[in-house]
Amino acid sequence: MTEKKIQDWRKIIVALREYGIYFALAAVVIAFSILSPEFRTPENILLILLQVSVIGILAIGELFTILTAGIDLSVGSLLAIAGMFSALFAQQDSPQLSLALAFLLPVVIGVLGGLLNGSVIAGAGVNPLIVTLGTLTAFRGFVVWYRVNPIYNLAPGYRWIGQSSLGPLPLPVLVLIAVAALAGIALNYTRFGRYVYAVGGNEQAALAAGINVKLIKLAVYVVSGLCVGIGALVFTSRLGAAQAISGEGFNLQAIAAVVVGGASLFGGRGTVSKTLVGALIIGTLFNGLVMLNVSSPVQQMVIGGIIIGAVWLDGVLRKKM
Amino acid sequence: MISLNNIRKNFAAIQAVDGVDLEIFPGEVHALVGENGAGKSTLMRVLAGFYPDYEGSISIEGKPVKVASVRMAKRMGIALVHQELSLVPELTIAENIFLGDEPAATVPGFISRRKALEQADKLLQEIGVNLDPRKKISQLSVAYRQLVEIAKGLSVKPRVLILDEPTSSLTAPEIKDLFRVIRKLTAMNTAVIYISHKLDEVFEIADRITVMRDGKKIATEPKDKWDEKRLISAMVGREFSSLFPHSHACDGKELAMEVSGLSRPGAFQNVSFQLHRGEVLGIYGLMGAGRTELSEALFGLKPATSGEVKIFGKAVKIKSSWAAKSLGLALVPEDRRGRGLVLMHSIGNNLSLPTLKYFSALGFVKRAQEKTEILKVMKEFEIQAEPSAPVETLSGGNQQKVVIGKWLIRPPRILILDEPTRGIDVGAKAEVHAAIDRLAAKGMAIILISSELPEVLGMSDRVLVMREGELVCEYSRPEANPENLGAAAAGVCI
């Protein structure tokens, strides 16, 4: 191969690595559009966006923890607690004050849950996988113990967040966009964002640069908790109901979105926009396979395979440099 | 005799080795020196069969050969001991020595542990190393691992043994041991090719010295024909006024730091010293003497448990690295890749990391100002690269310049340098030394921890010697010499 050709190949590989995920999303959308007439309707596209919104919000919080080489497995369970307490104050004919609490509480609970995770991880130095595996179980146990019966028929004044639209766009999608924009700004333009990347890129180097690593670690779990709180509000409001089993498996979907989006589980690498695309790819796959009448177990196998394949491909392209 | 003729090897666009001729005679120590990226390691890897796609010819005892694989090279008697240690920590010495080449037992397909142990023991005896081949590598010190690597290289009965930077993590007595082993090998007519940055070692051990630069051979001459200055000029390609500039003068009037009775059990005890504004205070000692631990305590990474520290007259407690930073301290750690850099991130982000606070408002980074500051430091340190390039793409010397440079965007009052020039090439070394001198002249107080005698002697205004966790002796610049520092490190103050 001539030098020029090698250079050209290198450019293609770099481009694939940088933008491959966008091509992948386009490919999935185009493939389903060809295969299924039901898929390619505007209503369905909006439905996918709506379906992705909660996982997307959780994934953005998850991204912060993964960027520091941590992980938050507890998001699904924490979402159930936050949703349950939110719903308690949002039942039919609740007074205004109670509704205000219903909006505020999930966010407060999310932050408190994140603080708990973060303080054990950063303060006591316990491995994040273990800590959040523990709280995954404990949070779920708590909400089931607290109230096993679902709360239905939430007040209309509460349901608008999850169920109304602004123009064609459902409100949850707008919430997702807002969360993503804020997260993107935080990661790219603030000192905090730089420190998050540095702590994940090399914790020892971050320490030796005089960065308060513990504080950053605590903060990312709080951010994750905050996202869970917002996600819980959107989720509960959209459903108009809260259940103790809500959010099961959300943690793995959120992590999958981050990882398919090219973030490294070893920290230091990943972006908000690609995490969103990761969430969209997974959401589109679920939706498209349903449209093609693929049975649920088969869907799961296909998507599982695609997650592994995506991460493998990312690794291959990275090594080619 | 092994001769290499017109060897070339390129990696994509880079011509790593560009038409090199080299002759290796039996029983000689042939030193190969040059800056990072000069092509020394690549040339040796060609010889050892790592790059079968080389151009040019190699002949052994006059017979042309094609070195097409590592296995083949081994069969021809060429053994390479890696720069990065390549032993499996959880296997024993014997298992490592014969890894991939285990002695066969009488039953086909089985390996003979007894034979392996016997042969390993013999090899270790041959180089005069007293080690039980049943010991696991993970239980050995770095120095012994290096010797096991050599024994492993010898297991193929080599004609030529290539040692690539063998002493980069060894202490002075360990280096002496290594040299003894090398002399034993050459006495048995084995040729040794010795790649090193450390010129004093090269002058001690080599019979002939070859200088490489930019993939080309500059010259091969017997040791006596070279002197240090000419060797450096040949390596770098330009003249050097001095490798150890010392133009600043410290008046010793203003105390920058006063440490008394600092201890951390198991690391260092009862350390007391004073550091002045504009002073370069050398701390010499053997590896494991507690110098790095002391630097980590001073910078709050692993705080001391007792003792007092005063900074510019004010008593302080340094409990964390961020506390240390806000007091005006900075640390350039010994472990460049592990502690000094976030390798996967850009040069620019690495440079601005510790001082981001100074160009951000309300938590937002002022990017334009950040970029200006980054470019200024890169220019000052002659780091020629794009600020957006990953720092891992830089050579070792340039990486080290980033590790030091990142503190100089907002210069600290007290700078602690832990082995600031370890493993970097002469050109970069000279630049680092010039920077130390420059900063001291501007009034910065500098602690220079180094295991390299010429560096400590050449750069310091005062030298402290540390041994087994204690400061044992102190010498002023005129008093300090290789003899008393060496003796002090070994336990006798003269």
A6/B contact by beta carbon, under 8 A: yes
Give dist(CA A26, CA A28) in Å, integer.
6
Give B354's contacts in chain A (Cβ within 8 Å): 209-211
Give B344's contacts in chain A (Cβ within 8 Å): 201, 268-269
> How buried is A1 (Cβ within 10 angstroms: 0-12 exposed, 13-18 middle, 19+ buried)?
exposed
Give dist(CA B486, CA B258) in Å, integer.
26
Q: In sequence order, which residues have a C-beta less than 8 Å from that of residue A246 and are 6 or more positions away?
A: A76, A79, A80, A83, A84, A235, A236, A239
Check residue B83 and give its pLDDT.
59
Each domain of chain A, given as residue ranges in start order, spans: 3-319
Check residue B158 and give its pLDDT.
87
Distances (CA, A) of A276 to A183, A255, A283, B456: 11, 12, 10, 54
The minimal CB distance from B339 to the residues A6, A189, A208 is found for A208
A212/B contact by beta carbon, under 8 A: yes
Extract long-range pairs of B254-258: CB within 8 Å, 24+ residues apart. Answer: B254/B278, B254/B312, B255/B310, B255/B312, B255/B313, B256/B311, B256/B312, B256/B413, B256/B414, B256/B445, B257/B309, B257/B310, B257/B311, B257/B312, B257/B414, B257/B445, B258/B308, B258/B309, B258/B310, B258/B313
Distance of CA B283 to the CA centre of its chain: 17
- The reply to whether residue A206 touches residue B342, judged by beta carbons under 8 angstroms, is yes
B476: left (phi over 0), alpha (psi -120 to 50) or beta: beta
A189/B contact by beta carbon, under 8 A: yes
Check residue B339 and give its pLDDT.
92
B359/A contact by beta carbon, under 8 A: no
Helix A42-67, helix A272-291: angle, nearest 10: 140
Give A191's contacts in chain B (Cβ within 8 Å): 356-357, 360, 363-365
Check residue B148 and give its pLDDT.
86
- CATH code of the domain occupying B255-490: 3.40.50.300
Check residue B84 and give its pLDDT.
60
Check residue A3 and give its pLDDT.
63
Tell me which residue of A32, A65, A79 sits closest to A231, measured CA to CA: A79
Same fold, B2-236 and B255-490: yes
Q: Looking at this predicted complex, what is its ipTM?
A: 0.86
Tell me which residue of B336, B267, B332, B330 sits closest to B304, measured CA to CA: B267
- The reply to whether residue B12 touches residue A3, judged by beta carbons under 8 angstroms, is yes
- Measured in angstroms, the CA of B145 and the nearest CA of chain A are apart by 25
The minimal CB distance from B364 to the residues A190, A209, A269 is found for A190
Give A10's contacts in chain B (Cβ within 8 Å): 12
Q: What is the pLDDT along chain A (321 residues), one digit of tens a residue?
A: 566 677 777 778 777 777 888 988 999 999 999 999 999 999 999 999 999 999 999 999 999 999 999 999 999 999 999 999 999 999 988 888 899 999 999 999 999 999 999 999 999 999 999 999 999 999 999 999 999 899 998 999 899 999 999 888 999 999 999 999 999 999 999 999 999 999 999 999 999 999 999 999 999 999 999 999 999 999 999 999 999 999 999 999 999 999 999 898 899 999 999 999 999 999 999 999 999 999 999 998 998 998 898 888 877 877 754
Fold (topology level) of B2-236: Rossmann fold (3.40.50)
CA angle B439, B441, B445 (to 5 degrees): 60
Please give the average pLDDT of every successive group of 10 residues along chain B, which has 494 residues. Answer: 91 82 94 85 91 92 90 88 76 86 78 86 82 87 81 85 83 81 89 89 93 90 88 77 79 90 94 95 88 95 95 94 95 91 94 93 93 93 89 87 94 95 83 92 95 90 93 92 85 80
Check residue A303 and give its pLDDT.
87
Each domain of chain B, given as residue ranges in start order, spans: 2-236, 255-490
| Chain A to chain B Cβ contacts (< 8 Å) | 85
Check residue B475 and give its pLDDT.
94
- Measured in angstroms, the CA of B332 and the nearest CA of chain A are apart by 8
Tell me which residue of B147, B146, B412, B381 sits closest to B257, measured CA to CA: B412
Check residue B89 and give its pLDDT.
83
Check residue A271 and give its pLDDT.
96
Q: Residue B459 is encoded by which pair of tokens? A: 């750069």
Give B345's contacts in chain A (Cβ within 8 Å): 197-198, 201, 268
Give dist(CA B484, CA B475) in Å, integer.
9
Q: Please list, residue by residue across A194-232, b when 16 or more beta carbons sit within 10 angstroms of its beta carbon and e when fewer do.
A: bbbbbbbbbbbbbbbbbbbbbebbbbbbbbbbbbbbbbb
Find tokens 């908000």 and name the residue: A272
Check residue B109 and give its pLDDT.
78
**Residue A120 host element (H or E):** none
Check residue B11 and give its pLDDT.
80
Give A206's contacts in chain B (Cβ within 8 Å): 342, 353
Tell me which residue of A63, A22, A64, A21 sits closest to A256, measured CA to CA: A63
Beta bridge partners, B7, equal: B20
Give A263's contacts in chain B (Cβ within 8 Å): none
Give dist(CA B233, CA B238) in Å, integer.
5
CA angle B87, B93, B96 (to 5 degrees): 45
